[in-house]
């Protein structure tokens, strides 16, 4: 009888303590975007200010949508379209040039509410590759389409083709000239991306890139590889990466961050730091960074390069843009 009474008391105390536990506060919505990472370099004040202004404009596109209650997938997609249309970043208009003097682009999108994903790689005539990736996810039974097949599918979805020269800018043509003259090394870093938590608790990630400057042989990096450069899962986190794609693929960077949170109970900041500084840092190569937002709207922006172009905002009023 005594044992039964003690058991009842212990059970009541346990229920009482569990009822007093504080649940982690959740942001109504949160958004982070990036415009690539790279080595530290001197930047004229007016150039730096221009990049910060562009990041802020892209952020404003996303925050307005979230304030209006729009869903994470639409917000992430729309922000990346804006970045693809901006010639100052390595995605869409302004993408880097391959060793053959053409542009080959990659993009991916993932919906954390159902783990659906879509991606395209090596496309040459799709104005906004992220829209093609969205169609792959929603209007095909596939996850990844490449090259001419991806272009044909995109046209069947109503995305008109553009000439490859559309993506060129004088700066990118000068860059490939310097690379061919051995005055500049090919750079694997340069991507745009966006991760979002919406008011319904759904996460989404979208990433787009022109790839490595001076790349050869149809090289494809981490961006369209789900779990490497792009990942979203409502149970954990949404991640978009920018950096040395070969390393991101080999380390399954985006999924690894989610797995550390899921299996080891790490916070988003702990997981991102562990992957970028504890794992990527120990590999050869120049690294890069990630932007992350977890299921409660907590943000992480971790990088091991000299700079990462980034912007962020939350419903509670956190907001900022940064490069270094």
- What is 236-263 written as a DSSP string? SEEEEEEE-HHHHHHHTHHHHHHHHHHH
Q: Is there a catalytic annotation at residue 191?
A: yes
Look at residue 223 and give its three-state secondary structure. coil
**Cα-based torsion angle of the residue sequence 165, 169, 171, 173 in order, rounded to the nearest 10 degrees:** 10
In angstroms, what CA-CA distances link 139 with 118, 124, 127, 132, 250?
Answer: 10, 21, 19, 10, 29
Distance (Å, whole) CA 133 – CA 106: 9
Q: 92: which 2 tokens?
A: 């869409």
Where are the alpha helices (H) located in the chain, listed in sequence order? Answer: 2-20, 45-67, 72-85, 129-139, 147-156, 170-180, 245-251, 253-264, 268-278
Catalytic residue among 191, 236, 305, 314: 191
Q: Which positions are annotated as active-site residues?
A: 191
């Amino acid at each position: 009888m005594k044992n039964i009474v003690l058991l009842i008391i212990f059970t009541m105390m346990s229920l009482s303590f569990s009822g007093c536990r504080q649940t982690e506060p959740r942001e109504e919505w949160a958004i982070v975007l990036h415009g690539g990472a790279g080595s530290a370099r001197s930047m004229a004040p007016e150039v730096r200010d221009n990049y910060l202004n562009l990041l802020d404009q892209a952020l404003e596109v996303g925050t307005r949508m979230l304030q209006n209650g729009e869903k994470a997938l639409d917000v992430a997609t729309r922000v990346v379209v804006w970045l693809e249309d901006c010639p100052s970043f390595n995605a869409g208009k302004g993408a880097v040039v391959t060793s053959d003097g053409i542009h080959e682009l990659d993009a991916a999108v993932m919906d954390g509410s159902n783990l659906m994903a879509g991606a395209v790689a090596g496309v040459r005539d799709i104005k906004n590759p992220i829209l093609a990736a969205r169609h792959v996810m929603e209007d095909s039974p596939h996850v990844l389409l490449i090259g001419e097949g991806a272009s044909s599918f995109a046209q069947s979805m109503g995305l008109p083709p553009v000439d490859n020269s559309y993506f060129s800018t004088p700066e990118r043509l000068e860059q490939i000239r310097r690379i061919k003259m051995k005055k500049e090394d090919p750079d694997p870093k340069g991507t745009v991306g966006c991760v979002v938590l919406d008011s319904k608790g759904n996460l989404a990630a979208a990433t787009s890139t022109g790839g490595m400057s001076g790349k050869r042989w149809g090289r494809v990096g981490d961006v369209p590889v789900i779990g490497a450069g792009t990942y979203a899962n409502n149970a954990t986190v949404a991640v978009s990466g920018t950096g040395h794609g070969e390393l991101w693929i080999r380390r399954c960077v985006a999924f690894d961050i989610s797995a550390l949170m899921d299996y080891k109970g790490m916070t988003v900041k702990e997981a991102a730091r562990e992957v970028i500084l504890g794992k990527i840092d120990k590999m050869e190569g120049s690294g890069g960074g990630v932007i992350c937002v977890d299921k409660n709207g907590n943000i992480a922006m971790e990088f091991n390069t000299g700079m990462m172009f980034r912007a962020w905002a939350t419903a509670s009023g956190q907001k900022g843009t940064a490069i270094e």
